Structure 1
Amino acid sequence: MKRTLLALSLLAAFASTTAYADPLLSGFGGDRDFGTLVMAPNDDGSSSQLTLPFRINFFGNAYSNYWVNNNGNISFTGALSSFTPSLFPISSAAMIAPFWADVDTRNQTDNLPNPFMNNVYMATPDSKTLVVTWDTVGYYDHHNDKQNTFQLVLKDQSATTGHAGDFDMEFRYGQLQWTTGDASEGTNGFGGRAAVAGWNAGAATNSYSLIGSGTQNVTGLVNTSNVGTDGVWRFMVRSDELPGSAPYNPVLPDNIDDGSAGWVFENMPVGTGTPIWIDPIVATGYDYLISNGPLVNGVTLLPGVGDGRYDIWLKEGGEWKLFASNVAGGEHFEFGKSVDEFRITGIETDAAINPDSPIAFATGLWFDGVGNATVTQTALTVEVLPVPEPATYGMLLAGLGMMGFAARRRRD
């Protein structure tokens, strides 16, 4: 069965106010230390066709060339002049967009402390990295009273994964002060059809708009992250494996708070025969609640964390009752029935999993039907003394090797 998955991003409830951070990569030379000026100041323009430093597999489509577009994105099948964004998916234009909006870099004098600001730069610091920077850019028509600075970073991961074309894409936000150009129904940089961040590969199952896209809340991307560093968003593209199809590339929750309200994974396309991997903020255990859609009839837990053993609880008569103890991570453990609520405990505090890591503790949920499910995952936490962050990704990869040998077990 083909896996149908959805990338959900970890994002806070945003305030549409000016925000600042400093997650930008630099040191590449040129006027602003961001590398080479990739196009002259313009409105709705694009670079010439450029060659990627490495070939990518963009959800089943291989690309070696790209265009940098002034309006906050790169495209792979031709230059793109569209200035009013749409939520993904759209029917055409394979693109990756850290901030698709009506960027206007023509005003090179007003409000700029440095004459080389309000430009778009490109750098290839090595054969495995591409960095495109929209530096202090203004918005249509000729405005730069408000300015946005953001980057797109592509990193070749084929040597790590062993699969040609595998790569990571990072969106890095230094400042976001406007969302909308005048021709997109905006006034003074806001309102109308606001910026969209995400990617589009031409199909609903492999295109995604980050939470906040298309609203004034998109400015909140500068304050939040799915990797623990404000203003940095990282997504893995692994052949045809979309977020949710593997523990190293899990679906991330829609919300971030203190954990008391749970972590919500809303409207995930799910099916039978394969797990959907989701990842919350870590703790010593989790409560799982399916509020709509297919129910869960089994779980696969991450091996290699602490002693790799867990307890499973099911709710009966409004009370939690121990269903199975000492369950091994890596096994597909079936409940023998479908449930809308269960609990996992037994994660040792000395495992010291980083609560800000997107690969901290992925969980494989096995559903009993096809549809869209909404899952809330509430962390069970304890306060411990700070400890050095462990190499969770290394533990995860080691655990994945174990999973190939895991036995299926049914509770009698």
Structure 2
Amino acid sequence: MVFRRLALPLLLASFVGSAQAIPLLDFGVGEEGFGTEFLPANDDGSTNLLDLPFDINFFGSTYSSFFVNNNGNITFESALGTFTPDPFPVASQPMIAPYWADVDTRVAGNLWIHSPNADTLAVTWSSVGYFGDQIPGGGEEGGEGSGETLLAAAVGPKTNSFQLVLRNRADTGTGNFDVDFRYERLEWTTGDASEGTAGLGGIPAQAGYDAGDGVNFLTLPGSRSDAVLDLQHASNVSSETPGLWTFAIRNGAPPGSSPSNPLLPVATDEGWSFTFNVRPGETFFIDPDIAIGYDYFLESGPLFASVLLPELGDNAYEVWLWNGAEWVFADNVLAGEEYTLSDGVDRFRVLGIEESLALDPLNPTAFVTGLTFAGAGAVQLSQNPIVLSLPVPEPETYAMFLAGLGLIVAARRRARS
């Protein structure tokens, strides 16, 4: 059987409701600070073909120009007026989409395009509304004097503010670049023509990027569901930057394609959550914050086929398997040696990371794990840290404390400060 290797560093941080979303980059230029070039108020419109300030290598194709589409995305082959997001992958339509949905700037907001220097491009959707919220020229689609109209007039229209930033990283290789999504405010998910009501329900927005080759793509958590609004409260960068999502495109390949550019995960109270698309024969690299071990759980998709662990400390690990009732020691494994997980398993445990290494728990590339899977398809998995419980003892119990250092417990990951 052919397996695809998965190497994916994963860091997704979730935050309490009081966290403030990341602000949009303000360049101090133009009416709102986002530049002077703009796409006039419209519904489903696009710019003409525009020049990129630098060439990019996007999944093996080099582009020097692009289209900005009103509906929350940029494309490279042709303009795109589609307002209801199709699930990635979308054939023959390479795109980067911070928030693909039915944006209507005739209702509210503006779309700004600005290149502050030769190495940066920013596209800003500032306080934009959705189709069907209010009809230009007066009245609401709900009908003059309707309950929906009066309610909207009382609370004001729902608007979203988000931004796409491309950064030239030719210093790391020709055509290399970074992608930033910044979500300052998300209040609506869906236009009326996408089966939405009052900006919600129906077929919600999708965020991510797509090579247009039917193979390579990334969809952000919550896409095409009401949970897409949570993008403003989460990050794959840091708990201190809710609403900021960053991706590195290197040598035409996305994050997860190499140990040096792993996919960053979503952090949950229990550990790390991963969602991605896998194919036989390809390796992805995942890496959460470090501990003394990890439990890997498959939520959905093809079974784990093998694991490849990094060179670290004494390079010696233990692999444990679940027998249906408890964890059972399976084998000693050395770093760099692919270990086959029987005929495929839905969970396994890795122990043996030395406490003396004191790896930084905020370093998202500290423990890059290679995984293969027993088939193709969309995978959702979690990687939960196993940590050492270190209570602060009273002096008279210090000896007991030392004796208990060997106890290993599964615990929630430490909150980021």
**TM-score w.r.t. structure 1 length?**
0.76
C-alpha deviation, 1:251, in angstroms: 3.6
User: In structure 2, what is the equivalent of residue 388 of structure 1?
Assistant: none
Q: Does 1:208 align with 2:218?
A: yes
Matched, 1:129 2:120: yes
1:169 deviates by 1.0
Q: CA deviation at 1:324?
A: 3.2
The count of aligned residue pairs is 361
Q: Which position in structure 2 is the counterpart of 1:197?
A: 207
Counterpart of 2:332 in structure 1 is 324
After superposition, what is the alpha-carbon deviation per residue over 1:265-309, rounded to whole angstroms, capped at 9, x for unaligned? 45752535x6431122332321234576344444131x4x6x464
**CA RMSD, 1 decimal:** 3.4
Note if contact 1:280-1:361 (Cα within 8 Å) is conserved in structure 2: yes
Is 1:237 equivalent to 2:249 in the alignment?
A: yes
For 1:1-400, list aligned pairs within 5 A: 21-107=21-107, 118-141=109-132, 143=134, 145-160=157-172, 162=173, 164-228=174-238, 229-253=241-265, 256-259=267-270, 262-265=271-274, 268-272=277-281, 275-289=283-297, 293-301=302-310, 303=311, 307=313, 309-315=315-321, 318-321=326-329, 323-324=331-332, 327-328=334-335, 331-334=336-339, 340=345, 341-348=348-355, 351-355=358-362, 358-366=364-372, 369-372=374-377, 375-382=381-388
State the distance in 1 between where 2:100 and 2:18 align: 18
Distance, in Å, in 1 between the alignment partners of 2:232 and 2:356 is 31
Moved beyond 6 Å, runs of 4+: 1-9, 12-15
> Of the two structures, which has the highest relative contact order with CA contacts closer than 8 Å and spacing of 6 or more?
2
Summarize the Cα distance change of 1:135–1:311 in structure 2 as closer, same or farther, 3 Å threshold: same
Render the CA deviation track for 1:48-105: whole Å, top value 9, x for unaligned.
2211111111111111001111111111112222222122111232211101111111
Unaligned 5+ residue runs, structure 2? 135-155, 392-417
Distance 1:376 1:141, change over 3 A: closer
Letter in 1 for 2:337: H
Residue 352 of structure 1 deviates from its aligned partner by 4.1
Helix, strand or coil for the counterpart of 2:215? helix
C-alpha distance after superposition, 1:151-187 (max 9, x if no partner): 0011111212x2x111111111000001111222222
**1: CA distance, partners of 2:18 / 2:126:** 16
What is the rounded CA distance, in whole Å, between the counterparts of 1:43 and 1:232 in structure 2?
A: 27
Deviation string 1:221-255 (CA, Å, 9 cap, x unpaired) is 000011112101111212243333211332444x5
Task: Check the 8 A contact 2:49/2:67 in 1, yes or no.
Answer: yes
* Consecutive unaligned residues in structure 1, runs of 5 or more: 109-117, 386-412
Q: CA deviation at 1:189?
A: 0.9
User: Structure 2 vs 1, CA of residues 365 and 91 (structure 1 numbering), >3 Å: closer, same or farther?
Assistant: closer
**8 Å CA contact retained: 2:176, 2:252:** no
Larger Rg: 2
Q: 2:229 aligns to what SS in structure 1?
A: helix
Cα 1:39–1:256, aligned 2, differ >3 Å: closer, same or farther? same
| More displaced stretch, 312-321 vs 65-74 | 312-321
Q: Percent identity?
A: 41
Contact 1:18 1:177 in 2 (8 A): no
**CA distance in 1 between partners of 2:24 and 2:73 (Å):** 17
Cα distance in 2 for residues equivalent to 1:10 and 1:131: 24
The one-letter amino acid paired with 1:381 is: V
Alpha-carbon distance in 2 for matches of 1:195, 1:322: 44
Query: Which position in structure 2 is the counterpart of 1:115?
Result: none
2: distance between equivalents of 1:2 and 1:36? Answer: 50
Does the aligned pair in 2 maintain the 1:286–1:380 contact within 8 Å?
Answer: yes
Q: Are residues 2 and 363 of structure 1, via their aligned partners in 2, closer, same or farther at CA, if it must alter by over 3 Å? A: closer
Contact kept, 8 Å, 1:18 with 1:175, in 2: the verdict is no
State the TM-score, normalized to the length of structure 2.
0.75
Relative to structure 1, the CA distance from residue 45 to residue 376 in structure 2 (aligned partners, 3 Å threshold; closer, same or farther) is: closer
Contact 1:71 1:83 in 2 (8 A): yes
Q: 1:176 to 1:360 in 2, by over 3 A?
A: farther
Q: Over residues 126-149 of structure 1, what are the superposed CA-to-partner deviations in whole Å (9 max), with x where a residue is unaligned?
A: 221111110111111354711100
- Say if 1:86 and 1:167 are closer, same or farther in 2 by CA, change over 3 A: same
